[in-house]
Structure 1
Amino acid sequence: MTLSADEAARFAALLEEHQESLVTTWTEHVASTLRGRLSHAELQRQNSELRRGFRQALAGSAQDLAGEPAAELRAQLAELSATRARQGFTATETAVSIFSFKDAVLTTIDAASGGDAIALRDYVAFSSFVDEAALFTFDSYVRVREELIADQAEQLLELSTPVVKLWEGVVAVPLVGTLDSARAQVVMERLLQTLVDTGSPYAIIDITGVPAVDTQVAQHVLKTVVAARLMGADCIISGIRPQIAQTIVALGIEFGDIATKASLADALRYVLAKAGQTKQKRREL
């Protein structure tokens, strides 16, 4: 249901004539749902701006929220949704803040018209317009929350895949948690970049913190080892616990000529010994 031009004009006049009482009543309704998580002054400021946005849209003969006259109102609703999402409010709390505008308008209509039939029909039409605005707010909120969650997931992914320098010429990647395709790609990229930056000839991939190793996890680790070898670095896999060793044997996973050690300390001792042998051979030559 859309507003007619006459209905939009009448409601624009109503929102202008009773602006103070509307904002006050609206703020009281919304404040009761937010449980004091937003100051009364800030809430009243937001509602006052939204009332102005609604009035301007209706004064421009907006018949629904998708039209050009409601462009500024849509921008205000999107900004409100983004702000509430970042502040930790729920989507329901955000949408209810818009739905409550109908209660404030109905209170004003009852007081101003005494239940006039035309005014009530206008209210029904206006109610649909507000519902559309609330749904738009809900949709905007969800999009912002999804973006925030995606950004946080990316940040956690980067934090969970550090590449550390253990010794001169030795870097390590301590893996903790499940190793999926996306994370394996990040591990590979960060390891290769660190090998380039440090010129390290040895890399240790420690899977002590990986709860279980299946065929997919093993493939990700092997791809990382192959990529590092193409960069001229020798890779050692550490953290092969008894349970993981049994799983690897049961699955028939082959690590080939890749060195494996039970712990990160064993891997580091192996690398240092190997590095010492390499230096000795160089002296002999």
Structure 2
Amino acid sequence: MKQNSAAVETLLAQHREQVLAEWQSELAVASGGRASNTDVQGTAQLLEALLAGLRANGRIDDFNDKVWEAGRDLLASLSRSRAAQGSTAADTSRFVLALKKPLFSGLQRMLGNEPAALLSAVWDVSTLIDSMAQFTVTAYQRTREEIIARQQQELLELSTPVIKLWDGVLAVPMIGTLDSGRTQLVMEALLQRIVDTGSTIAIIDITGVPTVDTLVAQHLLKTVTAIRLMGAECIISGIRPQIAQTIVHLGIDLQGVITKATLADALAVAMKRAGFSVSRGKPAATPPAAA
């Protein structure tokens, strides 16, 4: 193992520029053009990290060794960058795998007259490069999961806005399926807005909720309870005939909760309870048409 590491170290130390040029050439062929500036910079940095690890007697068959930490950091950064740019995991790992051919060619030039040593060195180098490629895939997937989770959170926040309809009256139009995470987000946003605006009435509109089951009803009741604990009153609107039948069939108790068929009806009740009176005035006169 030491002999193989020494051979690769010698190759990178004495023929670094040649290996680097061949690696960048492989990347250019794979991309159908010229290697990008990011790839050029990445190849140079990664070769330096590999050489530093070999000089520190890093195990060439174990990329998890502490001496490869700089290399892992570079690959993690590369994977995150490519994931954010929309590249695939295959493209990311291909960047590393393209290093195999230049290293194999260099080792063949050095150990061509020693078949056993050449085979052993090639095997160990192949193992190291494969481990590096697998590391990039794992880092890429972790980054994609983080991006997806962040996007889902942003979508949840956008899909549950807290709207001020009138002085002292807030509304939350719910769209889509309600789950525990989303209910918690709605509850936190609504309670904070109640505090910020001093509102006394909150309308939860479920017109856009496709179905109501026991779990959804429990989430709604928890939100209603939290609103009442804040000293405000809650009205649930959007109770369609199908939803009303489902609630009755499930035996869900909404006693004490004001429910209305439409948001307009809920707003009328909220205005009345808040002490506002709305009357219909005369329609505005239509301005004369221009000559």
TM over 0.5: yes
Give the letter for the 2:73 counterpart: A
Query: For 1:69 and 1:217, how far apart are their aligned partners in 2?
Result: 52
Answer yes or no: is 1:21 the counterpart of 2:21. no
How far residue 20 of structure 1 moved from its aligned partner, in angstroms, is: 2.4
Answer yes or no: is 1:208 the counterpart of 2:204. no
Q: Using the aligned pairs only, state the percent identity.
A: 46
How far residue 71 of structure 1 moved from its aligned partner, in angstroms, is: 2.1
Q: Tell me if structure 1 keeps the 8 A contact 2:7–2:107.
A: no
Q: 1:61 aligns with which of 57, 61, 69?
A: 57
Q: Deviations over 1:90-130 (max 9, x none)?
A: 22221121122112212333455546412232111221121
Q: Tell me if structure 1 keeps the 8 A contact 2:96–2:129.
A: yes
| Structure 2: unaligned runs, 5 residues or longer | 278-291
Q: Deviations over 1:205-236 (max 9, x none)?
A: 00011111111111111111111111111111
How far residue 35 of structure 1 moved from its aligned partner, in angstroms, is: 5.5
Q: Which residue of 1 aligns with 2:99?
A: 101
Count of residue pairs the alignment pairs up = 274
CA RMSD of aligned residues (A): 2.1
SS in 2 for 1:206: strand
Answer yes or no: is 1:46 the counterpart of 2:42. yes
- Aligned residue runs from structure 1 range 148-227, under 5 A: 148-227=147-226
So what's the TM-score if we normalise by structure 1? 0.88
Alpha-carbon distance change, 175 to 33 in structure 1, aligned in 2, over 3 angstroms: farther
Query: For 2:273 and 2:247, how far apart are their aligned partners in 1?
Result: 26
Answer yes or no: is 1:136 the counterpart of 2:132. no
Range moving further from structure 2, 213-222 or 40-49: 40-49
Query: For 2:128 and 2:262, how far apart are their aligned partners in 1?
Result: 65
Q: Tell me if structure 2 keeps the 8 A contact 1:34–1:93.
A: no
Query: For 2:142 and 2:165, how far apart are their aligned partners in 1?
Result: 42
Q: Which residue of 1 aligns with 2:145?
A: 146
Give the letter for the 1:42 counterpart: T
Q: Tell me if structure 1 keeps the 8 A contact 2:25–2:35.
A: no
How far residue 167 of structure 1 moved from its aligned partner, in angstroms, is: 0.3
Query: For 1:248 and 1:265, how far apart are their aligned partners in 2?
Result: 22
SS in 2 for 1:175: strand
Range moving further from structure 2, 264-273 or 133-142: 133-142
So what's the TM-score if we normalise by structure 2? 0.87
Q: Tell me if structure 1 keeps the 8 A contact 2:163–2:170.
A: yes
| Structure 1: unaligned runs, 5 residues or longer | 279-285
Q: Tell me if structure 1 keeps the 8 A contact 2:236–2:257.
A: yes
Q: Deviations over 1:249-276 (max 9, x none)?
A: 2222221121111111111011112323
Query: For 2:55 and 2:3, how far apart are their aligned partners in 1?
Result: 10
